[in-house]
Each structure stands twice: as structure tokens, then as C-alpha cells.
Structure 1
Amino acid sequence: MFRLTLLAGLPLPLVVSVCLLNSVAGCAKKIPVEELSTGQSGVEIIDQAITTKQSDWPAWRGPAGDGVAPDQPLRTTWSQSDGVAWQANVPGRGHSSPIIVGDQVIVATALDDQQKQSVVSYDKHDGSERWQTVIHDGGFPSPRSIHKKGTNANSTVASDGERLFAAMLNSDKIFVTALDLDGQQLWQQEAGAFNPKFGYAPSPLIYKSLVVIAADNQGGGYLAAFDRTSGTPAWRIARGNVSSYSSPAIGTIDGREQLLISGCDTVSSYDPSTGELLWETPCIAEATCGTVVIAGDRLLASGGYPDKETVCLSGSGERLWANQVKLYEPSLVADNGLVLAVTDGGIAYCWSLEDGEQMWRKRLGGNFSGSPVVCNDHVYVANLSGDCFVFKAADSYELVAKNSLGDDCYASPAIGDSQIIFRVGVGSGANRQESLICVAAPE
């Protein structure tokens, strides 16, 4: 990577030429982040009700943001003729994972040829399309600014039970858009400038009366929070000039509420009401994609690029154990004292949450982008060839089933009301069609 310090002493025309050739590296345009405090914004943070149901999967990584679903009847084996309740076509492309809110299944998607970014709703019972709302028309980034595996709709929608919140990169900025459950736009706010290296990926999360987004980027990264009723910016804090792709997580640990995110060579903790930095621990890597997992009084995170590390921290950021395994795109999941992981290259691991002891290691096969979810002490995870592996969340490896979904699967599944909803691709090239597949438990 070219850095300005390496260009010192070169003739100006040569410096300019190097910068043009390496515009995604050290010479990327830096845009100062306009920080905002709650004192300046005047936004009051209150314990506003969240009306999602126990049977919902209302945001990225589910109801608790950790990839674990409440126990419920669920299939472990299925086929197109046995267990698939419905299948629905999704227009365009997106890695936005499905969410379940009431009787709706909702995804974000992008039609690249028309430069439209949309949110689409389907009926949970039969897969029929209920509504489709375009939230951006035009303003797409250059294809050179999007990773070859990425899309213009990577971020998963979040819901508070009354509204839907989508975060999108458009017109070199991040916008947060709120819709009601009928798809009507309530508000749209610019979060800040964004200089993409490989596009935008983080998903929004809900805290009290706020919706919070992350936007780490090489032009000037930040976290920002908005009042979820009005869209008024509540606070914004700078995070440095590094491109990273992780979504924030939130939870109570060590007796205090913490907003947690990996990337920029740290795991960092913030006060979710104000954005104030509580602590940060150097670890993992410059760029990460996975979301921090809260497991009791411990935090788990992995990544990334260019370094390799999986780490377990205390609620105050103390290192408890670590290893040199890397999960770049998939997130970790923890269940019953075990940490379960599937690497991008298709190797599954199980470690003890207590001390990091490796319980087992197994090559599943294929490559993975989606994150594992757990229900009924079973792990569900799909690879990029469209195969869903189901294995026991136990201290010894036991494969339960390997089920075919389609020709690819980049998104993570949603679980609710005894249904598993997958977003898959069928076909390839110009003939590829994205679909939602609903796997339902027997009545």
C-alpha cells in the first residue's frame, strides 16, 4: 500500500500520478467527520418501546444480535419436494439477509441496471410480494468501488416492530431511511460522507429511541445515531480513516450498556447513549466484517485483513484468550459455553468459551460468506455453493444434514415461527435469479 510518507521527496507530478493509480489506497480523499454531541443535537434518549414479537427475527443476527434463535420446532432436513413451504423471486441483487417482522419477510435489494435500491416485503405464509419501495433512484457508486463479491444492498434491514430502517451507500454518502410496515417512507437522513474501497456492508441496530449505524471508511469513518421517530441526528463520532465492514452490536456487560464494534485494529466499546468511547483493545485486524458477539460476561470477535486472530475479551476489554484463526466475512456464534465458527474457507471450529481450548475442527467443504445461526442446539450455515450444513452445537462434531438450497447463498438465514428463511441465487451469469426459500417445520 502506498502511503504519503513513502512519497515524500518525489516530484509533484509523480506524486499525483501515484495517487491517481492508487486512489483506493493511501491517497484516498479524506473528508473530516463532523462530530455531533447529544448536547449539541438536543435529542433526548428515552426508553422507547420496541414492539417486535418473540417469533420475529427483526434485524441482523436476530432478536439478541448474536445469531441464536429461541428454541422452536424446526426442520433439520429438507428437499424441494419435502419441507420447502414456498419460494419467491427477489428482484436484482443483494446480500441483505432476510428479517421477519409479524407476518412479513423483508429484504433490501438493488437493481444495478436501473440504479434503484429498494426494500421488498413478502407474506410470511405464502411468499407473495406485499410491497416494494424504492428508496434511492440513481447515485450508485462506481463498480470499481464495490467488491466483486459485493452488491449495492449488503446491509440488512432492522425493525422496531413499527418501522423499518435501511442503511445504504448512495451518492458518496450513507443514508438512513425509515419506512412504516406498509412500505411508506417516514424519513431519510444523510449520515455522512463515505469513500468506498469495497462498498458498504454494516447493518443498523436499534437502541432505546435511537437507530445506530457504523460507517468505517478510508475517507473518514464514524458511528452515528438518529432518533428513530423523527430521524433527527442525535450524535456522531469519528473513528479514523480505515475501510472496515463490521456491524455494531449492543448489550449490557460488566453492568453497563455498551456499543461494540471490531475493525481499525481494535475492538472498541462506546456509550450507546452518547457515542463516548469507553475503552478499546488493540487486536484482530485493520479490516473486519464479523459482528462482535456478547456471551454472558465475555466478548468474542474475529477477523480479518491483513492479520488473523479470534479473540475473547472481558466486558472491560481485557484479553482472556486468543488464537490465530481468521473469520473474515462470517460472524461467530456462542451457545452453552461453546464458541462455534465457520471460516471463509469452510473449516468449522468449536472452542471452549471459558479458556479457548479447541474442542474440534472439521472441514465442511466450499467457501462461506453467510454467518451461522443456532436453534435447538443445532447450527445452520450455508456455503457459496448453496449447501446448508446442519450440525450439533456440541463439544464433538456431529453432522445432522447437508441440504441443497440453490446455486449460491451469500446471506445469513432468519428463523422465526418454526420457519427458516434463506436468500439464495439460482442459475449463473445473466440467468441468475435471487430467491427467498422458506423451510417450514411439519405441522
Structure 2
Amino acid sequence: MFTAHAGNRTWRFALLLALSSILVSGLPVKLRVLQSAEPLAAEGIVGVPEGTIAATDWPWWRGPHRNGIAPASARPPVEWSESKNLLWKTPIPGRGHSSPTVVGKRVFLTTADEVKKRQLALCFDRATGKLLWQVQLHQGGFDHNNKKNSFASSTIACDGQRLFVVFWNQGAIWTTALDLQGERLWQVKVADFVSHQGYSASPVIYQNLVVVAADSKGKGTSCLLAMDRQTGKEVWQIKRPKMPNYVSPIIFKLAGKDQLLMAGCELMSGFDPRTGKVIWECPGSTTECVGSVVASQGLVFASGGYPKHETLCVRADGSNEILWRNRVKVYVPSLLAYQGYVYAVTDNGVTYCWEARTGKEMWKDRLPGGFSA
């Protein structure tokens, strides 16, 4: 997401990242997408019952397959303006960096009013942009945040019946379940949380669970927590190193197993999403990461930004084999794995393409400006 300020109101728009073109400051920058002779097998929507979401939904962070790739049938515009390819726009109170969640005829979004110290969930009509409802989940309790972050950076996850909304408030991470009309079903304190940069991790849905990350430093309770989607009751919890980290948990099927993947805290990790047990874990990445892990062909790719600069590839079969690594810093943006190649846009605006299995650099280009999406 990006924000554009107009007077004392903030307008937010979905930033569509098409593989053929990225628009930065209104300038089209062509990205070369290399075709693989042996396309990677597409991972399924792991842990989600059939019929839960439709092919046209974008129900959680990074889309239905959790990899940032839209269905082949999608035809998003690669450029737009006030007079071109604009169906509707609507004002949003406050400021936030969460992505829109699109399910059925509705669009769900979080925002934070930093003046009135309110954190909200919003619902819009998908066809018209009309505000259908908004609900305040927290009042007050705002802490220090990085100026590039917001107090509404976690994307809502929807299982077709409930919305799972995560906020950092009053020194803790909170998960709230709402029904599709905005009525509160339950609210759980995930963990005490201490951070100098803020919070950005989005929840992930798996079978009957919703999983939330809270990698925290200092007096925080650094953990991964799985809750029952219907009740909010804790099902399992994993203790994590007490280090600041901002990665959203992601689930793929790799090496014949469903795996919940995390990077950061000086670790690359694969967990069993049913139980929280470690499947594999190895030193890698760096302390602070923001972008989500991506995976293909049994390989996991991650990058981080502080204190080390590193992008790396790990085999997810329990061997802990690191196939390749480089010193490219992709701190805030997430990687993209597509048809045998890994794509990245660095925070300082350089695009890269690497061969997935070898890490060989295929090309790189510079965008006109920095990049934090």
C-alpha cells in the first residue's frame, strides 16, 4: 500500500504490482519476466477447505496462494489515473499500510486515526466503494513507530465467515475476530510486545486455526501463537528469540509437508502448522526482516535488512542446506518466486532477477526512487 495526503485527509489506493510493469511516481518501468523451460509446480491453497474462498477473492496477505501471484485469469490494469482505469475511490479516515482484503462483494481494510488514537476495521462495497460499516477496535494506547510504518499495517485475513484483525496497542499484540457485519466475536491478547519500529505481521489461516507472529525484543513475549478460529482459544504457542522482527508467517506445502515458514531473528524456520513443532531450522537471514518468505520447488527464499544484508535460498527438506546467498538487502518489500526465477525490488529502488535454483543474477534495473511496498 501507499498513502497520498490531500489536505487533512488521507486517500489510500491498492498498489497493483503487475509482472509486466511497475508504476513509480507515475512513470512506467518495464520489468523483464523470464520464462522457465520447466515451470515450477504451483503450490495449492494449503490448509483451506475447498469452497471457502472464490477464485476472484483476495482473502488475506499476499492473496489466495500466499505468494503475491494472482490467478491466470486476472487482468489488472498496469496503469491508471483520475481518468483512466479508475472504477471508484473513497476517502479513508486516518492512515494505514495494510492491504485490502477482498471477499465476495466486499472489501475489508484496517486504518489508524493517529490524531484521535483510534484503530478501525472498515468494510466497503466492492462494486461502488460505498462504506458499509466501520468498527473501532482500540482507543488510545499508541506507542512509538517508525515514520515509514503505520499503526494499521497488518492485513485482515478472512475465512469466508470471520475477519481476523491484528493490532499493536497498549504494549501488546491483539487479535480480534469479527463477523462479516463487523460484530465482535472474540478478542485475544497474543503477547506483550516491545518494538522500536512498530508492528506489521499479518495473520495466517490454516484449517481451524489462525496464527499470529509477535517477534519482540526486551520485555515482550516473543512467540508464534495459534488460536482456534471459532473461539480464540490457544491451541499451541512457540517461543521465539527475543529479537525485533516484523515478518508475517506464511504457509506452503513443501517436501510433502504443510510448512509454516518464518525468517528473521537470525533464523530460517519451518514449523508444522498443526502443532507448532519445528520441522527444520537453520541459521540464516538476519535479525530484522519485514518481507514475507516465498517458496517454490521445495526451496525457501528470504531476505532481510538489519544488521546484515542478505538474500538466501534454503532447501526445505530438513537438510538445512543453504543453496545460495548474496549480499542484496531487500528489507521491507517481499520477494516474488515465479516460474523458476526470484524477483526482488530493494528499498533503494533496484530490481533484481535471480535464477531460483542457483542464485545466478539474470538482470537488474533501477527504478526512479525508493520502494517500501
> Structure 2: where are the runs of 5+ without partners?
1-46
1:187, distance to aligned residue in structure 2 (A) = 0.9
User: How is 1:364-375 mapped onto 2 (pairs within 5 angstroms)?
Assistant: 364-370=367-373
Partner secondary structure for residue 90 of structure 1: coil
Partner secondary structure for residue 229 of structure 1: coil
Distance 1:327 1:172 in 2: 28
Aligned to 1:214: 213
User: How is 1:245-394 mapped onto 2 (pairs within 5 angstroms)?
Assistant: 245-315=246-316, 316=318, 317-370=320-373
**Residue type at the aligned position of 1:180:** D
Aligned to 1:186: 185
CA contact (8 A) 1:117 1:136 kept: yes
Distance 1:354 1:196 in 2: 35
**Residue type at the aligned position of 1:116:** R
CA contact (8 A) 1:158 1:164 kept: yes
User: How is 1:111-130 mapped onto 2 (pairs within 5 angstroms)?
Assistant: 111-130=113-132
With normalisation by structure 1, the TM-score equals: 0.71
Distance 2:256 2:93 in 1: 45
Deviations 1:357-408 (A, max 9, x none): 11100001211111xxxxxxxxxxxxxxxxxxxxxxxxxxxxxxxxxxxxxx
Distance 2:117 2:362 in 1: 47
- Find out whether 1:156 has 2:158 as its counterpart: no
1:47, distance to aligned residue in structure 2 (A) = 7.4
User: How is 1:418-437 mapped onto 2 (pairs within 5 angstroms)?
Assistant: none
CA contact (8 A) 1:49 1:208 kept: no
**Residue type at the aligned position of 1:367:** G
State the structure with more CA Rg. Answer: 1
Aligned to 1:133: 135
User: How is 1:156-175 mapped onto 2 (pairs within 5 angstroms)?
Assistant: 156-175=155-174
**Residue type at the aligned position of 1:351:** W
> Structure 1: where are the runs of 5+ without partners?
1-45, 371-443
Cα 1:73–1:215, aligned 2, differ >3 Å: closer, same or farther? Answer: same
**Residue type at the aligned position of 1:271:** D
1:272, distance to aligned residue in structure 2 (A) = 0.8
CA contact (8 A) 1:50 1:160 kept: no
**Percent identity for Structure 1 against Structure 2:** 43
1:91, distance to aligned residue in structure 2 (A) = 0.7
1:77, distance to aligned residue in structure 2 (A) = 2.9
1:354, distance to aligned residue in structure 2 (A) = 2.1
CA contact (8 A) 1:165 1:178 kept: yes
1:188, distance to aligned residue in structure 2 (A) = 0.6
Q: Which one has the bigger helix percentage? A: 1
CA contact (8 A) 1:338 1:353 kept: yes
User: How is 1:401-416 mapped onto 2 (pairs within 5 angstroms)?
Assistant: none
Number of aligned residue pairs: 322
1:48, distance to aligned residue in structure 2 (A) = 5.9
1:296, distance to aligned residue in structure 2 (A) = 2.5
Partner secondary structure for residue 364 of structure 2: strand
With normalisation by structure 2, the TM-score equals: 0.84
Which structure's relative contact order is higher, taking Cα pairs within 8 Å and 6+ residues apart? Answer: 1
Distance 2:241 2:347 in 1: 27
Deviations 1:5-37 (A, max 9, x none): xxxxxxxxxxxxxxxxxxxxxxxxxxxxxxxxx
Distance 1:63 1:309 in 2: 28
Distance 1:110 1:164 in 2: 17
User: How is 1:71-86 mapped onto 2 (pairs within 5 angstroms)?
Assistant: 71=72, 72-86=74-88
Aligned to 1:61: 62
CA contact (8 A) 1:264 1:286 kept: yes
1:137, distance to aligned residue in structure 2 (A) = 1.8
**Residue type at the aligned position of 2:155:** T
